[in-house]
Amino acid sequence: MSDFISESNRLRKAGQLLESLDALREGLRPAAVDAATHERAGRLLKKHLDVAKAPRVRLLGQCTTSWMVPVLGAVAWGRGTALQVEDGEYDSVMQELAHGEPPEVLVLIPWTQRLFSDDARSESERIDAELAFWQAAWAQRQGSKLVQVGYDWTAPGPKGAMLGGGPGGPMRLVRRMNDALRHHLPSGAAWVDIEAISGSLGRERFYDARRFFWTKQPFSEEGTLRLCRHLFAAARALLTGPKKVLVLDLDNTLWGGVVGELGPYGVQLGESADGEAFRAFQAYCKGLAARGIVLVVASKNNDADAREPFEKNPDMVLRLGDFAAFEANWEPKSRNIARMADTLRLGLDSFVFFDDNPAEREQVRQALPQVEVVDVPEDPAEYVAALEATLFYESLPLTAEDAERGAQYQAEAQRDAARTGFGSLDDYLTSLAMVADLREVDEADMQRVVQLLGKTNQFNLTTRRHGEEQLRRWLAGGRSILYTLRVRDRFGDHGLIGVVLGVPEEEGTLVVDTLLMSCRVIGRTVEQYLWARVLARAAELGYGRIRAEFVPTAKNAQVARLYDDFGLTRASVADGAVVYEASLAALAPPRNFLLG
With H, G, I as helix, E, B as strand and everything else as coil, classify residue 515. Answer: strand
Instruction: Please give the average per-residue pLDDT across 197-216, as a whole number.
Output: 94
Q: 116 — phi, psi (to 5°)?
A: -95, 10
Confidence bin at 312 (pLDDT 50/70/90) = very high
Q: Do 441 and 475 form a contact (C-beta atoms < 8 A)?
A: yes
- Read off the pLDDT of residues 321-346 as tens digits, 9 standing for 90 and up: 999 999 999 999 999 999 999 888 88
Q: 151 — phi, psi (to 5°)?
A: -90, 160
Q: Do 589 and 532 form a contact (C-beta atoms < 8 A)?
A: yes
Write the CB contacts of 247 (distance below 8 Å, at least 6 apart in sequence): 296, 297, 298, 333, 337, 340, 351, 352, 353, 354, 355, 371
Residue 365 has pLDDT above 80, yes or no: yes
Strand partners, 146: 106
For the entire predicted model, the pTM comes to 0.78
- What stretch of H or E contains 497? strand 492-504
Structural domains of the chain ordered from first start: 49-239 (3.40.50.1110), 245-389 (3.40.50.1000), 432-586 (3.40.630.30)
Q: Please, what's the b/e burial string for 415-441 (b: 16 or more CB within 10 A of its CB; e: otherwise)? A: beeeeeeeeeeeebbebbebebebeeb
Instruction: Report the 10 Å Cβ neighbour count for 156.
Output: 15
Question: pLDDT value at position 409?
Answer: 67
Q: Do 84 and 56 form a contact (C-beta atoms < 8 A)?
A: yes
Question: pLDDT value at position 300?
Answer: 94
**Rounded distance between C-alpha atoms, residue 38 and residue 44, angstroms:** 10
Phi-psi region of 542 (alpha: psi -120 to 50; beta: other; left: phi over 0): left
Strand partners, 60: 108
Instruction: Report the 10 Å Cβ neighbour count for 350.
Output: 18
- Read off the pLDDT of residues 499-533 as tens digits, 9 standing for 90 and up: 999 999 878 899 999 999 987 788 889 999 999 99
Instruction: Report the 10 Å Cβ neighbour count for 523.
Output: 11
Identity of residue 505:
E
Starting at the edge strand that comes first in sequence, how are the strands of the sheet with 105-109 ordered?
Answer: 84-87, 56-61, 105-109, 145-149, 190-192
